[in-house]
Amino acid sequence: MTSSSAPQDPTAKARKDPWDLPDVSGLVVGVLGGTGEQGRGLALRFALAGQKVIIGSRAADRARDAAAELGHGVEGADNAETARRSDVVIVAVPWDGHAETLESLREELAGKLVVDCVNPLGFDKKGAYALKPEEGSAAEQAAALLPDSRVTAAFHHLSAVLLQDTSLAEIDTDVMVLGEERADVEIVQALAGRVPGMRGVFAGRLRNAHQVESLVANLISVNRRYKAHAGLRITDV
């Protein structure tokens, strides 16, 4: 009896399970803009998950004060020291200070995995609206300014209110992760997965970051209408 199926190639590599993610528990996470609401919230959630966290600010004293308020082993330092001591650096600074901050830290961020979560937005009497940087997105601007860093984009759609609410054991959301190198994206996915209820999902290369950053303007409209703190879930994945 013969089989109609084609013979298996013994040299063919098995397809990698996209959910087979690395162990990132030993990585030091730095948060630039860690004294702001979003930065504080991310720092707190990673610290609660057991990650070593350093929050950065232009003023070291301000960072140390914020770290003391957060507790859970979070440390504070100026932005340059935070960048030097961290394995993964999350950029959570205001959009209007994004370029200046990254330009000033180019040397300290060389060789680092940088995760940009900045949303370029404008506001008027009609509400929030997306801005489009000359480079295409905040993440692409970061990549242009940091040629010696490994730039990814993630954590755009998280509510700072929910992140800082310690009565919530889980954060019910997916995190869209973008980047050029699969290994870097998977590290960020794994970091997202350290937070209970959160999941990191690959969402394309950096050229697709603009629409991900822009979606925050829609979520702000949702939140205002429904008095909510909306996030995202990706279905059928």
- Residues 118-169: tens digit of each pLDDT: 999 999 999 999 999 999 999 999 999 999 999 999 999 999 999 999 999 9
Residue 6: the pLDDT is 55
- pLDDT averaged over the chain? 95
**Does the structure show a pLDDT above 70 at 67?**
yes
Residue 2: the pLDDT is 47
The per-residue pLDDT for range 48-66, each reduced to its tens digit, is 999 999 999 999 999 999 9
Give the DSSP per-residue string, the chain: ----SPPP-TTSPPPPPTT-----TT-EEEEETTTSHHHHHHHHHHHHTT-EEEEEESSHHHHHHHHHHH-TT-EEEEHHHHHHH-SEEEE---GGGHHHHHHHTTTTTTT-EEEE----EEEETTEEEE---TTSSHHHHHHHH-TTSEEEE--TT--HHHHT-TT-S---EEEEEEES-HHHHHHHHHHHHTSTTEEEEE---GGGHHHHHHHHHHHHHHHHHHT-------TT-
**Does the structure show a pLDDT above 60 at 1?**
no
The per-residue pLDDT for range 177-190, each reduced to its tens digit, is 999 999 999 999 99
The per-residue pLDDT for range 73-119, each reduced to its tens digit, is 999 999 999 999 999 999 999 999 999 999 999 999 999 999 999 99
**Does the structure show a pLDDT above 80 at 4?**
no
- Percentage of the chain with pLDDT > 90? 93
